[in-house]
Structure 1
Amino acid sequence: MENQTVNEGKTAAIVSYLWWIGFIIAYLMNNSKRNAFTGFHLRQALGLNLLSLAASLVSRYVSGTAGAVIAVGALVLWIMGLIGAAQGEEKKVPLLGDQFQDWFKGIA
Structure 2
Amino acid sequence: MNPKSKVTAGILAILVGGFGVHKFYLGKTLLGVVYLLFCWTGIPSIIGLIEGILYLTKTDDEFQRKYASA
Q: Compare CA radii of gyration and give the structure with the larger one.
A: 1
- TM-score (structure 2 length as normaliser): 0.39
Relative contact order higher in (CA < 8 Å, ≥ 6 apart): 2
